[in-house]
Amino acid sequence: METDFSTGEGDSTLRELYASEDGVEAVIHVKLEKREGETVAERIAEEPHVKDVFMVTGDSDLILIVSFPRMKDLKEYVLHELTNIYGVVDTKTFVVIKSVKEDGIKNY
C-alpha cells in the first residue's frame, strides 16, 4: 500500500519519514538576486550534501539535488544555511518520496 500523506496511513507516516535513518533526498528550487547567480551557485556546489546544481531558466534560478541522512538535517540546511546565503531570495523544497526513474534506470 502506498502512503497517503493526507492521512498519514500506508507504508509510513510523516512522523516515521521525519525520524527515518534511511536518508532523504530533495529537489530544491532557488530564486536568486540576478547579479549573484554564478557566485551563489558555485558556493552552494561546495556543500558536501549537494549532489547537483543546475542553473535554469524560468521561475527559479537554480535547481539543487540534495541528500541528507535524516529529515531534520534537510530542515536545518534549508531553514538555517541555504536561506542565509547572500543572494538567495526564496526557496521551494520538494522531498523525494519515490524514485520512478533515476540516472536512466527505471525503478519499477
Task: Please give the pLDDT value at position 5.
Answer: 47
Its pTM stands at 0.80
Q: What is the CATH number of the domain that holds 59?
A: 3.30.70.920
User: Domain limits at 38?
Assistant: 26-97
Q: Dig out the grid coordinates for 33 from the structure.
A: 538576486
Nearest to 97, CA basis, from 9, 15, 39, 12: 12
CB 27 within 8 A of CB 96: yes
Residue 107 pLDDT more than 70? yes
Looking at the structure of the chain, the number of domains it has is 1
In a domain, 45, yes or no: yes
For the segment 43-59, what is each residue's pLDDT rounded down to a tens digit? Answer: 999 999 999 999 999 99
pLDDT on residue 22: 77
